[in-house]
Amino acid sequence: MAGIPDYDYYVMQQRRHNSAAPVMTESEFLDYCHNRRNGRCC
């Protein structure tokens, strides 16, 4: 579906670039993306 972030892709990228880095849960990931989309990032 357009506009919805792909959690599996995020996990794959995180593991590829830094396998020791913590990975957000799917719920955390979706919250993070929602906040970024609505201008409430970081």
The predicted pLDDT at position 9 comes to 93
Q: How many domains does the chain have?
A: 1
Q: Is residue 2 part of a domain?
A: no
Q: Is residue 34 part of a domain?
A: yes
Return all residues near 23 (Cβ < 8 A) that are at least 6 apart.
10, 11, 14, 15
Residue 20 and residue 1 in contact, taking contact as beta carbons nearer than 8 Å: no
Our CA angle for 32, 35, 36, nearest 5°, is 85
Q: What is the number of alpha carbons within 13 Å of residue 37 lying toward its C-beta?
A: 9
The predicted pLDDT at position 3 comes to 63
pLDDT for residue 40 is more than 80: no
The predicted pLDDT at position 16 comes to 94
pLDDT for residue 41 is more than 50: yes
Residues of the domain holding 21: 7-38
The predicted pLDDT at position 5 comes to 77
Q: Is residue 28 part of a domain?
A: yes
Q: Is residue 27 part of a domain?
A: yes
User: What are 1-37's pLDDT values in tens digits?
Assistant: 456 679 999 999 999 999 898 999 999 999 998 888 8
Q: Among 39, 22, 29, 28, which residue's Cα sits nearest to residue 7? A: 29
Q: Is residue 1 part of a domain?
A: no
